[in-house]
Amino acid sequence: MPQHTDAPTALKVALLGGGTVGSQTARILTEDADILRDRVGADLELTGIAVRDTGATRDWQADPALYTTDAEALVAGADVVIELMGGIEPARTLILRALAAGTSVVTGNKALLAQHGEELYAAAAATGAQLSFEAAVAGAIPILRPLRDSLGGDRVTRVMGIANGTTNFILDRMDSEGADFDDALAEAQRLGYAEADPTADVEGHDAAAKAAILATIAFGAPYTLDQVAVAGITAITAEDNAAAAEAGYVIKLLAIAERGRAADGAEGAVLRVHPTLLPREHPLASVRGAFNAVFVEAENAGELMFYGPGAGGAPTASAVMGDVVSIAQRIVRGGPARLRTPVTALPALDPAEAHTSFMVVLRAADQPGVLRRVAGVFEEHGVSIETLRQVPSEREDAPGASLRLITHRARQRDLDATVEALAALDVVHEVASVLRVEGN
């Protein structure tokens, strides 16, 4: 597309947030100014960085004159706004103000998008401004553009990903080194992978926000955080990892968005985040440390995987700047903004409608007839057992036997009823754990 004769020679860029990602974004805008000018066709002029404390020490220090606490003034004079503040407010209000003025916005704010995405999309559409958010999911990994553009002519059936580096690091240490959860979390905190308060990560909330965004892009319909079933990793034990390893699996916290059908046959989407057993040979099983990966299944393209750093200042800033350059090129060269418009009405289904396999670990009495009674409960609720392994209990406080069962694919609702009935059997001491299985 040719550049307009009246195209601007410089674009004013307002940066909201001077934290880890914001500092690296400022660095790229400053140090790579000549490269960016060549790619865009105009200078990208960083006009200011809105922060809470102008005197704070930062990962990369910009010109002190750029720091300000007046975010509203920065937004008012910008051609492009980059929002990296995080949280809901004042980020939501500032983004809406920019979009209402026709100013395009780049954000990495997954929580805001997962809760108020439709409001922001509508505001952008009303004025023709562009709202871009590649950095909101999986750091540097380009996943939203491929889902939206490269697979735009295909029918995505499932997106399954390791979308949180903190939990992947913890689970990797538990699997490879036999560490317990607390020790692995402490190491993640020492290395800077986990926050002092890791709740959003280890309870699955961070991954759930990303699942809602991925589903929205993949299926072309609006989804929100409250439609994602969430379970974190705090209950995963060394015994769970040992049982998984013995059966040929590894445990990963997965964000899953997939097409499915309700009991009445109606099509919809199931969104869930939970610890999951993956076969060792599955591509996602080899993702180590704090890395992320997203596995996509589409009717025509087949299986695709996107892998890379899922967090960190420079990698995430790379995703931010990809959106900035794309928006800036459209401003300079002309052409409409690229807007996200829902094209389907695919409702979110009750997570109890999800179909998957399960590993169920029971502690039961070691006596004749126990296996028959346990198997009868599974049969009664329509859940088929694929494999069963019995090993002596190693716990002095729980004598008897440990039963490890892996089911064929079953509906979550039926498995829940099965587990409830198992717990009521007088020969079952405890339902020790229930983990989903994917990738078989």
**Catalytic residue list:** 210
CB 334 within 8 A of CB 1: yes
SS3 label, residue 46: strand
* CA-angle at 391, arms to 241 and 364, nearest 5°: 100
Rounded-to-integer distance, Cα 375 and Cα 294, Å: 36
Strand partners of residue 278 = 250
Q: Is residue 286 annotated as involved in ligand binding? A: no
Q: Is residue 19 annotated as involved in ligand binding? A: yes
Rounded-to-integer distance, Cα 392 and Cα 401, Å: 4
Write out the DSSP string of 54-123.
TT---SS---GGGEES-HHHHHHT-SEEEE---SSTTHHHHHHHHHHTT-EEEE--HHHHHHHHHHHHHH
CB 241 within 8 A of CB 178: yes
Q: Is residue 382 annotated as involved in ligand binding? A: no
Q: Is residue 110 annotated as involved in ligand binding? A: yes
CB 81 within 8 A of CB 94: yes
Tell which residue, 426, 280, 417, has the closest CA to residue 360. Answer: 417
Beta strands in 243-301 (DSSP E): 249-261, 267-279, 291-298
The values of phi and psi at residue 403, to 5°, are -105, 125
Q: Is residue 228 annotated as involved in ligand binding? A: no
Q: Is residue 289 annotated as involved in ligand binding? A: no
What's the gap between Cα 111 and its chain centre?
Answer: 11
* Alpha helices for 178-219 (secondary structure H): 181-190, 199-202, 205-219
Strand partners of residue 304 = 296
Exposed (0-12), middle (13-18) or buried (19+): which is 2, by Cβ within 10 Å?
Answer: exposed
Per-residue CA distances from 431 to 360, 362, 415 (Å): 7, 5, 13
Tell which residue, 169, 432, 178, has the closest CA to residue 310. Answer: 169
SS3 label, residue 340: coil
Q: Is residue 22 annotated as involved in ligand binding? A: yes
The values of phi and psi at residue 176, to 5°, are -85, -30
Q: Does residue 90 have a cis bond before it (omega within 30 degrees)?
A: yes
Q: Is residue 369 annotated as involved in ligand binding? A: no
Q: Is residue 18 annotated as involved in ligand binding? A: yes
- Binding-site residues sit at 16-23, 110, 195
- Binding-site residues for NADPH sit at 110
- Binding-site residues for NADP(+) sit at 16-23
